[in-house]
């Protein structure tokens, strides 16, 4: 099926099959799907929504669009990560990753950039002169083995489909689509090879996720369906924003 036909199908509210989503993600990754077509598909997904099956399939194909990090089997119960839904002043990842590593855990953290008006973890780290957020796979493996943690971004070889979709979501007003948020977060976690994940759900006005007349959150039905499909352990931690779980002294 052609890309315009896939867009039409989703625009009209039909459910995309596993093969169709695989074709779309492959095209996004190799560049055969144009940015304007990606934007049109994202808007169709935003307006029409996605079923749990679609979200799970999209997540899996995004994760498998590049390399998948693998670790020592003895680390299985030590591989942990945290990801936030995003908000102004959100800096929890910066002290949390090394703190967990100091306790003997392994934290392979693939993070994101800012969306809309929020600054992402990678943007904050890049403000440090010489800090590199895009690293080779051998460098990431060395960091986890020696330091017990790393914070890096999706790259050309690690979750490349998410890197492209993330960029286009930011300029097409499709950031707040829950299935796309879930797919973006979980695909990075699958690619990094983590075993357990804590979702830091921001619940305040200064957020990347905004829902009219309701508290911003990720519906458990969609997120846990995806987690079950890929066998990743997850728990959710509400964060009121004004009472952060961790605080960082910020020096300008």
In a domain, 81, yes or no: yes
Q: E strands along the chain, which residues?
A: 80-84, 107-111, 149-153, 196-202, 233-239
Give me the active site residues, please: 81-84, 121, 169, 184, 188-189
pLDDT at 210: 45
Judging by DSSP bridges, how do beta strands 149-153 and 107-111 pair with one another? parallel
Name which residue leads in pLDDT, 157 or 42.
42
**Domain boundaries, position 213:** 1-245
Lowest mean pLDDT among 50-54, 59-63, 137-141, 235-239: 235-239
Query: Is residue 63 a contact partner of residue 159, using CB atoms and an 8 Å limit?
Result: yes
Name which residue leads in pLDDT, 85 or 141.
141
Measured between alpha carbons, how far is 84 from 86 in angstroms, rounded to an integer? Answer: 5
Measured between alpha carbons, how far is 84 from 87 in angstroms, rounded to an integer? Answer: 8
In a domain, 105, yes or no: yes
In a domain, 250, yes or no: no
Domain total for the chain? 1
Q: Provide mean pLDDT across the span 54-70.
A: 93
pTM, whole model, 2 decimals?
A: 0.79
pLDDT at 147: 96
In a domain, 207, yes or no: yes
In a domain, 109, yes or no: yes
- Indicate which CATH number applies to the domain containing 138: 1.20.970.10
- Residue found under tokens 């007003």: 173
Name which residue leads in pLDDT, 220 or 59.
59
In a domain, 174, yes or no: yes
In a domain, 183, yes or no: yes
Phi and psi at residue 213, to the nearest 5°? 60, 30
> Which residues contact residue 195 at a Cβ distance below 8 angstroms, ignoring those fewer than 6 apart?
76, 77, 78, 79, 80, 232, 233
């Amino acid at each position: 099926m052609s890309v315009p036909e896939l867009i039409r199908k989703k625009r009209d509210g039909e459910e995309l099959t596993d093969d169709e989503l695989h074709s779309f993600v492959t095209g996004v990754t190799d560049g055969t799907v144009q940015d304007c077509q990606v934007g049109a598909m994202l808007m169709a997904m935003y307006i029409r929504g996605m079923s749990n099956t679609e979200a799970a399939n999209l997540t899996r194909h995004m994760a498998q669009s590049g390399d998948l990090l693998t670790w020592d089997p003895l680390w299985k119960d030590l591989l942990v990560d945290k990801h936030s839904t995003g908000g102004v002043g959100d800096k929890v990842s910066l002290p949390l990753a090394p703190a967990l590593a100091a306790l003997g855990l392994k934290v392979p953290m693939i993070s994101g950039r800012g969306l809309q008006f929020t600054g992402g973890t990678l943007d904050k780290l890049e403000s440090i002169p010489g800090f590199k957020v895009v690293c080779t796979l051998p460098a990431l493996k060395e960091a986890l083995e020696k330091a017990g943690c790393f914070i890096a971004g999706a790259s050309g070889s690690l979750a490349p489909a998410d890197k492209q979709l993330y960029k286009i979501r930011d300029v097409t007003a499709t950031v707040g689509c829950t299935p796309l948020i879930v797919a973006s977060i979980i695909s990075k976690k699958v690619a990094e090879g983590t075993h357990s994940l804590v979702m830091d759900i921001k619940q305040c006005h200064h957020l990347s996720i905004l829902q009219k007349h309701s508290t911003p959150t990720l519906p458990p039905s969609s997120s846990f369906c995806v987690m079950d499909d890929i066998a990743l352990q997850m728990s959710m931690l509400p964060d009121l924003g004004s009472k952060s779980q961790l605080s960082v002294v910020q020096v300008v």
